[in-house]
């Protein structure tokens, strides 16, 4: 069977806003929210400056429009969205809205399902470990990366299976509710 790809609009988040770059003019359009039917998360490696970074693509549809929100996997914005999606029984049910806002120098997000704020899953995110060798200091985020990848796999499995309620996540550390100072209840 032959077919055509559906057109996708690629988005990013920066400076407290969802950003859409006009590929013809190069202008960047800014938005406060992204809303639609959540279809899933994929990951890929992308070139960035002189290196390669891991990127999560959050896929949404709204009618005939398809949106791909691309965020660096090691960033707090992507992690915050994933922590909220992991707390949903069915991430692909209803309408998901991602709202962005600035708090100091940081971009934060709030995630809503059918206009109800979804808090982060109650599991402690592993800390980044710091160690010193000689006079050099290094960081190791492998435990944090593995934790987030497990959440992404769980979210993807629930979407693929028609969304069974989230696992108890018994193998994850004790509960913590950390929205770092709060999130607006509605936007």
Could you tell me if residue 135 is inside a domain? yes
Specify if 20 maps to a domain.
yes
Range(s) of the domain holding residue 12: 8-160
Q: In total, how many domains does the chain have? A: 1
Q: Are 55 and 45 in contact (CB under 8 A)?
A: yes
Is 16 part of any domain? yes
Confidence of residue 179 (pLDDT cuts 50, 70, 90): very low
Let me know: does 34 contact 93? Beta carbons within 8 Å: no
CB distance 45 to 24 below 8 Å? no
- pLDDT band at 74, cuts 50/70/90? confident
> Average of pLDDT values for 73-96?
91
92 is a domain residue = yes
In a domain, 61, yes or no: yes
In a domain, 166, yes or no: no
Task: State the helix-helix crossing angle for 142-160 and 76-85, rounded to 10 degrees.
Answer: 40
CB 96 within 8 A of CB 41: no
2 in any annotated domain: no
**More confident of the two residues 125 and 33:** 33
Query: Which strand (E) or helix (H) includes residue 119?
Result: none
Domain assignment of residue 172, yes or no: no
């Amino acid at each position: 069977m032959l077919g055509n790809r559906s057109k996708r609009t690629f988005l990013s988040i920066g400076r407290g806003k969802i950003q859409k770059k006009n590929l013809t003019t190069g202008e960047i359009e800014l938005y406060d929210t992204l809303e639609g039917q959540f279809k899933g998360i994929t990951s890929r490696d992308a070139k960035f400056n002189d290196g390669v970074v891991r990127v999560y693509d959050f896929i949404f549809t709204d009618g005939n429009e398809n949106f791909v929100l691309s965020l660096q996997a090691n960033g707090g914005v992507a992690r915050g969205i994933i922590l909220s999606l992991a707390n949903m029984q069915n991430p692909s049910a209803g309408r998901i809205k991602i709202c962005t806002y600035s708090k100091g120098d940081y971009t934060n997000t709030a995630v809503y399902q059918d206009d109800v704020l979804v808090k982060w899953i109650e599991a402690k995110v592993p800390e980044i470990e710091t160690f010193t060798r000689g006079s050099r200091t290094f960081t190791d985020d492998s435990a944090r990366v593995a934790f987030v990848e497990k959440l992404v796999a769980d979210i993807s499995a629930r979407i693929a299976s028609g969304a069974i309620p989230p696992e108890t996540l018994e193998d994850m550390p004790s509960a913590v509710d950390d929205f770092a100072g709060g999130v607006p209840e509605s936007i």
